Structure 1
Amino acid sequence: ENIRAQGFGLICDGVYASGVPVLDLETAPDKSREIISSHLYKIALEHPNNAVVLGCAGMTNIWHKLQPDHQITLIDPVAAAAKLIPVLV
Protein backbone atom coordinates (compact mmCIF):
# COMPACT_ATOMS: atom_id res chain seq x y z
CA GLU A 1 0.00 0.00 0.00
CA ASN A 2 2.87 2.41 0.75
CA ILE A 3 4.31 1.80 -2.71
CA ARG A 4 1.04 2.83 -4.35
CA ALA A 5 0.62 5.81 -2.02
CA GLN A 6 4.01 7.15 -3.12
CA GLY A 7 3.07 6.80 -6.79
CA PHE A 8 5.23 3.78 -7.61
CA GLY A 9 2.47 1.20 -7.96
CA LEU A 10 2.70 0.98 -11.74
CA ILE A 11 6.47 0.49 -11.80
CA CYS A 12 6.95 -1.80 -8.80
CA ASP A 13 6.46 -5.49 -9.55
CA GLY A 14 6.64 -6.61 -5.95
CA VAL A 15 7.93 -6.28 -2.43
CA TYR A 16 9.76 -9.29 -1.04
CA ALA A 17 10.98 -9.96 2.48
CA SER A 18 14.27 -11.82 2.85
CA GLY A 19 13.53 -12.99 6.37
CA VAL A 20 17.02 -11.97 7.45
CA PRO A 21 17.04 -10.13 10.79
CA VAL A 22 18.77 -6.75 10.47
CA LEU A 23 21.36 -7.59 13.12
CA ASP A 24 22.35 -10.72 11.19
CA LEU A 25 23.57 -8.50 8.37
CA GLU A 26 26.37 -7.45 10.75
CA THR A 27 26.84 -10.56 12.86
CA ALA A 28 26.39 -13.22 10.17
CA PRO A 29 27.05 -11.47 6.85
CA ASP A 30 27.98 -14.60 4.88
CA LYS A 31 24.84 -16.49 5.90
CA SER A 32 22.73 -13.36 5.33
CA ARG A 33 24.22 -12.91 1.87
CA GLU A 34 23.48 -16.56 1.06
CA ILE A 35 19.81 -16.20 2.07
CA ILE A 36 19.35 -12.91 0.24
CA SER A 37 21.09 -14.30 -2.83
CA SER A 38 18.65 -17.20 -2.93
CA HIS A 39 15.74 -14.75 -2.92
CA LEU A 40 17.37 -12.66 -5.63
CA TYR A 41 17.68 -15.67 -7.94
CA LYS A 42 13.94 -16.32 -7.55
CA ILE A 43 13.09 -12.67 -8.18
CA ALA A 44 15.29 -12.61 -11.28
CA LEU A 45 13.43 -15.61 -12.69
CA GLU A 46 10.07 -13.87 -12.19
CA HIS A 47 11.22 -10.41 -13.29
CA PRO A 48 14.40 -10.82 -15.37
CA ASN A 49 14.62 -7.29 -16.75
CA ASN A 50 14.10 -5.43 -13.51
CA ALA A 51 16.28 -3.92 -10.82
CA VAL A 52 16.01 -4.70 -7.13
CA VAL A 53 16.21 -1.96 -4.53
CA LEU A 54 17.60 -3.54 -1.39
CA GLY A 55 15.22 -2.22 1.22
CA CYS A 56 17.35 -2.02 4.32
CA ALA A 57 20.24 0.31 5.09
CA GLY A 58 21.98 -2.67 6.67
CA MET A 59 22.30 -4.18 3.19
CA THR A 60 24.54 -1.35 2.03
CA ASN A 61 27.54 -3.33 3.29
CA ILE A 62 26.75 -6.46 1.26
CA TRP A 63 25.16 -5.29 -1.99
CA HIS A 64 28.53 -5.01 -3.76
CA LYS A 65 29.24 -8.65 -2.87
CA LEU A 66 25.82 -9.75 -4.15
CA GLN A 67 25.88 -7.90 -7.47
CA PRO A 68 28.55 -9.99 -9.26
CA ASP A 69 26.46 -13.14 -8.73
CA HIS A 70 23.27 -11.74 -10.27
CA GLN A 71 22.20 -10.58 -13.72
CA ILE A 72 19.65 -8.11 -12.35
CA THR A 73 20.77 -4.70 -11.15
CA LEU A 74 20.92 -4.32 -7.38
CA ILE A 75 20.49 -0.85 -5.93
CA ASP A 76 22.20 0.15 -2.70
CA PRO A 77 19.46 1.75 -0.56
CA VAL A 78 21.73 4.27 1.18
CA ALA A 79 23.39 5.45 -2.03
CA ALA A 80 20.00 5.77 -3.73
CA ALA A 81 18.59 7.81 -0.86
CA ALA A 82 21.64 10.07 -0.77
CA LYS A 83 21.36 10.75 -4.50
CA LEU A 84 17.68 11.67 -4.14
CA ILE A 85 18.26 14.27 -1.41
CA PRO A 86 19.15 17.15 -3.80
CA VAL A 87 15.90 16.57 -5.69
CA LEU A 88 13.87 16.85 -2.51
CA VAL A 89 15.57 19.90 -1.03
Structure 2
Amino acid sequence: MRHGEALDGEKTVQIVHRVASVLRAFGNRGLLGITELANATGLPKSTTHRLVTALVNEGLLVQDEDNHKYALSLRVTELGASILSS
Protein backbone atom coordinates (compact mmCIF):
# COMPACT_ATOMS: atom_id res chain seq x y z
CA MET A 1 0.00 0.00 0.00
CA ARG A 2 1.32 3.41 -0.91
CA HIS A 3 1.31 6.25 1.58
CA GLY A 4 -2.05 8.01 1.47
CA GLU A 5 -4.05 5.12 0.05
CA ALA A 6 -7.11 4.20 2.04
CA LEU A 7 -7.50 0.65 3.37
CA ASP A 8 -10.75 -1.13 2.74
CA GLY A 9 -12.62 -2.31 5.83
CA GLU A 10 -11.71 -5.98 5.49
CA LYS A 11 -7.98 -5.23 5.17
CA THR A 12 -8.12 -2.90 8.18
CA VAL A 13 -9.75 -5.59 10.32
CA GLN A 14 -7.12 -8.12 9.22
CA ILE A 15 -4.33 -5.75 10.25
CA VAL A 16 -5.92 -5.14 13.65
CA HIS A 17 -6.17 -8.91 14.23
CA ARG A 18 -2.52 -9.36 13.27
CA VAL A 19 -1.34 -6.55 15.55
CA ALA A 20 -3.40 -7.97 18.42
CA SER A 21 -1.89 -11.42 17.88
CA VAL A 22 1.61 -9.95 18.07
CA LEU A 23 0.80 -8.13 21.32
CA ARG A 24 -0.89 -11.22 22.81
CA ALA A 25 2.15 -13.35 21.94
CA PHE A 26 4.08 -11.64 24.71
CA GLY A 27 1.67 -12.89 27.38
CA ASN A 28 3.84 -13.60 30.41
CA ARG A 29 6.98 -13.83 28.29
CA GLY A 30 9.68 -11.24 28.48
CA LEU A 31 11.75 -10.74 25.36
CA LEU A 32 10.87 -12.23 21.97
CA GLY A 33 12.65 -12.11 18.64
CA ILE A 34 11.03 -11.86 15.22
CA THR A 35 11.27 -15.62 14.61
CA GLU A 36 9.72 -16.39 18.01
CA LEU A 37 6.90 -13.92 17.36
CA ALA A 38 6.30 -15.30 13.87
CA ASN A 39 6.12 -18.84 15.27
CA ALA A 40 3.78 -17.75 18.08
CA THR A 41 1.42 -15.87 15.76
CA GLY A 42 1.63 -18.01 12.65
CA LEU A 43 2.45 -14.93 10.59
CA PRO A 44 5.26 -14.79 8.03
CA LYS A 45 8.49 -13.31 9.39
CA SER A 46 8.34 -10.40 6.94
CA THR A 47 4.82 -9.49 8.10
CA THR A 48 5.84 -9.89 11.73
CA HIS A 49 8.83 -7.61 11.20
CA ARG A 50 6.67 -4.90 9.60
CA LEU A 51 4.12 -5.06 12.42
CA VAL A 52 6.82 -5.03 15.12
CA THR A 53 8.50 -2.03 13.48
CA ALA A 54 5.18 -0.17 13.47
CA LEU A 55 4.56 -1.09 17.13
CA VAL A 56 8.03 0.17 18.08
CA ASN A 57 7.38 3.40 16.18
CA GLU A 58 4.08 3.80 18.08
CA GLY A 59 5.83 3.25 21.41
CA LEU A 60 4.04 -0.03 22.23
CA LEU A 61 7.11 -2.26 21.92
CA VAL A 62 10.75 -1.64 22.80
CA GLN A 63 13.84 -3.37 21.46
CA ASP A 64 16.60 -4.61 23.75
CA GLU A 65 19.88 -3.10 22.54
CA ASP A 66 21.97 -6.13 23.51
CA ASN A 67 20.05 -9.05 21.99
CA HIS A 68 17.75 -7.12 19.62
CA LYS A 69 14.65 -8.87 20.98
CA TYR A 70 11.42 -7.04 21.73
CA ALA A 71 9.26 -6.49 24.80
CA LEU A 72 6.05 -4.68 25.64
CA SER A 73 6.75 -1.07 26.54
CA LEU A 74 5.78 0.83 29.65
CA ARG A 75 3.16 2.55 27.48
CA VAL A 76 1.26 -0.75 27.30
CA THR A 77 1.40 -0.98 31.10
CA GLU A 78 0.10 2.58 31.36
CA LEU A 79 -2.80 1.75 29.03
CA GLY A 80 -3.68 -1.30 31.13
CA ALA A 81 -3.45 0.68 34.36
CA SER A 82 -5.72 3.41 33.00
CA ILE A 83 -8.34 0.79 32.14
CA LEU A 84 -8.14 -0.76 35.61
CA SER A 85 -8.46 2.61 37.33
CA SER A 86 -11.54 3.70 35.39
TM bracket (short chain):
0.3 to 0.5
TM-score normalised by length of structure 2: 0.37
TM-score normalised by length of structure 1: 0.36
